[in-house]
Chain A
Amino acid sequence: MDVVETQAGDVTVLAPGGRIDSVTCKAFEEQVMARINGGTTRLLVDFGNLDYISSAGLRVLLMAAKRLKAAKGRFAICAMKDHIREVFEVSGFAGILDIQPDRDTALAAMG
Chain B
Amino acid sequence: MAESLDLVLKNDLGELDRLLSLAEEFCEGHGASPKVTYQVGLVLDELFTNIVSYGFDDGRDHDIRVRLWLGDGSLHAELADDGRPFDPLSEAAEPDLAAEVDDRAIGGLGVHFVKTFMDGTRYEYVDGQNRLRFWKALG
Q: Which residues of A contact B (CB under 8 A)?
A: 19, 21-23, 51-52, 54-56, 58-59, 62, 65-66, 69, 82-84, 86-87, 90-92, 95-97
Residues of B within 8 A of A82 (CB): 35
Contact assessment for A87 and B113 in the assembled complex, using a CB-CB cutoff below 8 Å: yes
How many A-B residue pairs lie within 8 Å, measured between CB atoms?
Answer: 70
Residues of chain B in range 80-100 having any CB-CB distance to chain A below 8 Å: 95, 97-100
Closest-CB distance, A99 to chain B (whole angstroms): 13
Residues of A within 8 A of B100 (CB): 96
**What are 27 A-B interface contacts by the 8 Å CB criterion?**
A21-B20, A22-B16, A23-B17, A52-B20, A52-B41, A54-B45, A54-B49, A55-B106, A55-B110, A56-B49, A58-B106, A62-B106, A66-B102, A83-B34, A86-B35, A87-B42, A90-B112, A91-B95, A91-B109, A91-B113, A92-B98, A92-B99, A92-B104, A95-B98, A96-B99, A96-B101, A96-B104
Residues of B within 8 A of A97 (CB): 101
Interface size class of B (residues with CB under 8 A): 20 to 34
